[in-house]
Each structure stands twice: as structure tokens, then as C-alpha cells.
Amino acid sequence: MAEKRVELIIRGMHCNNCALGVERHLKSLGATEVNVDFSSSSARFILPPSRSADDIRQSIEKLGYATGMEKTTDRKLGLSALEIRFLTCFAFTLPLLVPMWLPLHALHTPLIQWILATPVFIIGLSYFGRSAITSLRARFANMDVLIVIGIVAAYGYSLSGTLLGLGENFLFYETAATITTIVLFGNLLEERAVKKTTSAIEELHAIQPRRARKVTRSENGEEQILDVSYEEIAVGDTLLVNSGDRVPVDGKIIAGEASIDESMISGESFPQERGHGAAVIGGTVLLSGSIHLRAEAVGESTVLAHIILMVKDAQARKPCIQSIGDKVSSVFVPVVLTLSLLTLVVTYIVLDLSARDAILRAIAVLVIACPCAMGLATPTAVMVGIGKSAKSGILLKGGDTLQTLAEVQTVIFDKTGTLTSGDFKIKRIIPHNKDENGARIFLYSIARRSSHPISQSLMRELIGTTPIFLREILETKGIGIQARDESERLIELGGAKLRKRYGGGDDAASLYLYVDGTCLASVEMEDALRPGAIATLAALKERKIKTVLLSGDVQKRCEEIAQHLGIDEVYAEKLPQEKLEIVASYARSAITAFVGDGINDAPALAQASVGISLGGATHVAVQSAQVVLLDSNLEHLSKAIAIAKHTLRVIKQNLFWAFFYNVLAIPLAMCGILNPMVAALAMTFSDVFVIGNSLRLKARKV
């Protein structure tokens, strides 16, 4: 039975530790490959065989969360539930703080303070308590456990003082109310800031047109234009796209010409001219012209849909460095509870402080130590880094890929179609029997039976030649192609490996044509360097990254290209299996990237620490590597590495801040230097600092 992958939207999580509690709950139900992300309010997992999606949803809803299958991006009018909670708490908390600055003695009375603090306490207990209970059910104490204990201790102690008439020294209702209000304010700031880090998905969704013009024919042959929704478009439909419109789906132009902005794929806004027979991608913009388009991929099959799905998967996959924060967060709360209890006992019994002061210090420890910033440190930076890459036409498949790419030490390049354009030209044909026309006929006849880029280029160069009939076609990767003609002669076309078998031929040639083992002709081919190759290799050299050329082409040509580009090492005339072994040997000793065309280099892409595809905007390219340069712009390779390095640097900064903050703040709270209200404000600041530091990535130029 096939695995069923489910994505749910979970509303009501207000911190990363809430997400961790839900994640543990899903695992306890038997779900696998679980990832619950607070930043995008989503859960992705493989459904356990014994349960349905509805069962899982109901189970999550019993924890107090709302669930859905789709996330709406429409902003509802009015205030959100969190905003209403915060404003209500603020309105009741402010009068409790006013007596600190103004002589309003009526507000000091226990009854008035109790009336003002109770609504805030109820809101705080219901809001944070649900998450705390959920985490405890999952056998994990999250940050809300600390908040709940803090406000219950402050409110409960004050209520006891009120009921027993113990006087103002036993009242600190304002502490319970202020902690609740400030932490709610922090959650509100987090919610708004996190929305900015997750904007990449929403921006990609916004690219997709919702309506299209469908072209039909009436019974009398007249052309009719119907306005249809995106969901009504089917493969084979003819669509009209005019200037200023977005292309609705992937397809092929069957009439007209246009200038198209393909920046959603390439990251470059320079328009591309497209005419009859050209492929176009859904979501791109017609700047000028008008075309009739035949739909070839719709719905979830379009390139844009694949990109959105891949970005979602990428943002859900955690880099290894995140495990540091996750492990600390999982043990942090029990440690803090112990320190808080220890503070209470030592200050009250050993140091002989008043019960009020001892409790305030214990509460300050609980509040200041909330590890929310640790939970936000990695995912917020990953969200921004991957989103920034996607908008530039660079798809990074996950936070783990991002970290690996940032740490790459060696980059191995395929030659044909990667460092070179793959568009070959015949420099000259050297006939060895003085019959160039006969050689051309054999070359064209056998080249047209192969899909290899060199064969296709050779066929285009010899177009117009009359072919002969060939049979028993056999193509061997890394060697060449062979066939038999009507006279049972064995015709073979290949490179250096074939020449080694038979001998003969010209040393400077790229291809050799053999008939029954005798070299009939040698062919010199020219392949221009890909635009940006020189700049890319220079950028890698500046970063002290080792570069390697790995190709099946002849040694001489490979060495010429390597010398021209400044590549460190060259491996030429290698078979596919030999390429795999070389990539594997580099990957064993250093973090290694392999850059190929995403189609015939798939094994090597998989063998490397990180595979980078320059396969163009095709489904094969999107699926074949961990990093995809959608427009095949080689210069985006150095940009991708730069984004990865900056993102990893920000993650490290965030984790350092989160750790440093707690290490510094807890002792200060234990010593009574920070009271609970200041502690709550400082805790909120640490969360906002981490998110703000991540958002810097958006503005940074690379």
C-alpha cells in the first residue's frame, strides 16, 4: 500500500515549543516523517496505516488546536484573536501599574487589584495553559509550562494574601498581569514577524493567475473567447494570452509572438522573445505581444506548482545545526523548574528573605529562561534564506541542503552542457578515405538515431543530408552508438574510448566514425563556454573552493577548458561508472558538490554531498538534484553558495544569542537583579531580536 503524505494547517500554535508538542503527539499516533512548523502553521507527515486524516485532525483538535487542509492567505478584516487578547489584557494591566507613578491609592486596595487582575489571569491561563497541557500530555514540558507556573504562583500568592487579609506586602497581582500581557505582546510581535519570513510561499501562490481566456470554436467555425477559472483548464485547451497577462499554465505557443518576463524562473527581469513552438511557463508575464497557447501541464503538474511544493518541503527540512537548539529546548524546561525551585528554597530558607521576595525571584527565573528564542533561531533564518533563493530562480531543497552547500569545499563540474553551452558546431570533418560526402551521410544517418547532445548538434549541422537506412541500433553510455546498414557493415560513432579500441583517427578530433573497425572520418567539434563560466570559477577560487572538471570528452579539449577557466584538477575520457567512483572518492574526504545538467548526470548528482542541476525549467531538473538553477545560469551557483553561507552565519548568530541570553539572564534573576516584569520584557526582546536578525537576510545583497 502506497504511503499517504498529509499536510495540515494547525491554528493556535503560538511558539516553536507548541509545534514540538504537536510533533511528539503525532509520532505517538504512529505518524512518520513528522514535521510540525510553527512558522508556517503547518504539519507534514506520512499517515499511519491504521488511521485516517480525519482521525488525526480530530486528535489534534482535542488538544485545543484548530485544523484545516488549506491555508488561506486572505487577511481577515478586523482584529485577530491574539490582538484582542493582548488589548484586553493591556487595558486591565495598565491601571495596576499606574500607582507606581501616580498617587492613586484606591488602586492599591486588594479588591480593586483582584478585579483588575482576574480577567488577565483567566485569559493568560486559558491561552498558555492549553499549550502547557498539550506538551505535558506529550511528555514534554514546553515554555508555556514556565509561564503558567509563574502567573499561577503570582496570582495564587496574591489571592491568598487578599483572602487572609495579610496586607499590601502579600499582593503582586500586577506581576501576574504584566507577565501575561508582555508575553502576549511578544507572541503578537512574533506572529507578525514570522509572517514576513514565510512570505516566499504566499508570493509564489500570488504569481498563479486565477482566471484565463479559453479559445473555442462554434459550430460555424467562429472563434469564441471564454473567461474560465484556473481549475477549469485542461491539457490540450487553447488559451489566449495578451500583453500584461500572466501565462495561466505551462504550454507551447501555437500562434503569435511575445516578449515575456521570466524572472520567476530565472531571477532576471530581462525579457525573452518567444514565438511559434516555444515553451512557456505558467506564472510568467507577457510584456508585449499576444499568443495562442496550447496547455501542456495544468494544476499540480505545472513547474510553478512543483516549485511551491519543493519550497514547502525545503522549509520543512531542518539543517543539522537545528538539532542543537532542539536538544537544548527539550531538557531546558526541567532544568529551569529545578533552578526556580532551588532559588525559592535557598533565598527563603538559607538567605532568610521574605516569602514575597523569594517567590518573585523564583518567578523571574521561570519567565526569563523561556527557550522560545532557541526554537526560532534556525527555522526563521531557513525560511528567509530559501525564500530569497527561490525568488532568484535558485531552489534549495531543504535546510539540510542549505547547510551542506554553505560548507562545500570541492565543486566538481561536468563539462558538456554545464561549463559549455552544449550547442556544438562542426569545426571540420577529416575524411580518411578522401570521401567527405560519404562520411557526412554515415554521420548524419547514425547521429539522428541518438538523443545525446553531441549527436543532436551533429544532426542539426548536417541537416539536408540524405540518410541511409540503419538497423540494430545500440547506444552505450560513455562509448558511442553503433548500427548496421543494409550491407551488414558495422557503423560506429564515438569518442576517445572507441578510438582506443580500434586506433586510427586524428588526435585533435572529438568524434570518430568507424566502418567495420576502420576509421572512416574524424570530426572536430566546437562547444562554446557557457556565459558566466569564467566569473563563476573566479568567484569559487576567491572563496578557496577547490574546482574539478570531470568529463567523458578527450583529454586535450578538457585541459584547454580547465586552463582557460583556472580549474584545479581534470579528469577526462571517463565512463559514467568511473565518474561515480571519482565523485564518491571526493565526497568521502570533503563536502563535495557536483554540478551537472540534471538529466544524464543524475547518478553523479546523487553521489555527491550536494547535487546541483543546471537542467533548465523542466520537471526533470526540479526533481533531479538538491539545488536547482532553474534558468541554467551558472553565475547563480556562486549566488546560491553566498546565500547559504549568509543564512548559516545568521543561524549561528541566532543560536549564540539565544544561549548567551539565557546563560547571562538566569543568574541575574536568581540574584534578584531582574524582577519578573523586566524578565518578561527581556524574554520578549530576545525572540524579536532573533526574528529581526533572520529578516536581515531579505535585504542583504549577494
pLDDT digits (tens, 9 = 90+) for 581-629: 898 899 899 999 999 875 556 677 778 888 888 865 445 545 667 888 8
Q: Please, what is the Cα angle at 24 between 22 and 27, to 5 degrees?
A: 110
Asked whether the predicted pLDDT for residue 198 surpasses 70, the reply is no
348-372 pLDDT per residue, tens: 888 888 887 888 788 778 767 665 6
Taking the CB of residue 136, how many other CB atoms lie within 10 A of it?
14
CATH class assigned to 385-419+530-640: alpha beta
CATH fold of 5-68: Alpha-Beta Plaits (3.30.70)
Is 70 exceeded by the pLDDT of residue 325? no
Task: Note the pTM of the prediction, 2 decimals.
Answer: 0.60
Buried-exposed string 74-89: b where 16+ CB fall within 10 A, e elsewhere = eeeeeeeebeebbeeb
What pLDDT does 74 receive?
A: 43
**Tens-digit pLDDT profile for residues 145-176:** 777 877 887 788 788 778 877 666 667 788 78
DSSP 329-361: HHHHHHHHHHHHHHHHHIIIIIS---HHHHHHH
- Mean pLDDT over each residue of the chain, to the nearest integer: 79
Does the pLDDT value for residue 200 go beyond 60?
no
Give the per-residue pLDDT at 262: 74
The CATH fold of domain 421-528:
Calcium-transporting ATPase, cytoplasmic domain N (3.40.1110)
Catalytic residue among 37, 245, 250, 414: 414
- Residue 224 is predicted with a pLDDT of 84
Q: Is residue 281 predicted with pLDDT exceeding 70?
A: yes
First CA to last CA distance, the chain: 46
| Alpha-helical regions (H) of 243-321 | 263-266, 303-316
Separation CA 253–CA 538 (nearest Å): 39
| Residue 456 to residues 407, 470, 497, 618, 631, Cα–Cα distance (Å) | 37, 17, 20, 19, 21
Domain-by-domain residue ranges, the chain?
A: 5-68, 210-244+250-297, 385-419+530-640, 421-528
- pLDDT of 73 reads 43
What is the architecture of the domain spanning 210-244+250-297? Distorted Sandwich (2.70)
- Give yes or no: 55 in active site: no
455: pLDDT strictly greater than 90: no
pLDDT at 230 over 70: yes
Is the pLDDT reported for residue 77 higher than 50? no
What does the pLDDT read at residue 138? Answer: 66
Find where cell 514540558 sits.
141
Residue 27 has pLDDT above 90, yes or no: no
Which residues, in sequence order, are CB contacts of 82 under 8 Å at separation 6+? 14, 184, 187, 188, 191
Radius of gyration of the chain (CA): 33
In 3D, which of 198, 226, 134 has the Cα closest to residue 376?
198
Please say whether the beta carbons of 414 and 551 come within 8 A: yes
Q: For residue 263, what pLDDT is reported?
A: 62
- Least confident among 145-159, 161-175, 293-307, 408-422: 161-175
CA-CA distance, 581 to 159, in Å (whole number)?
73
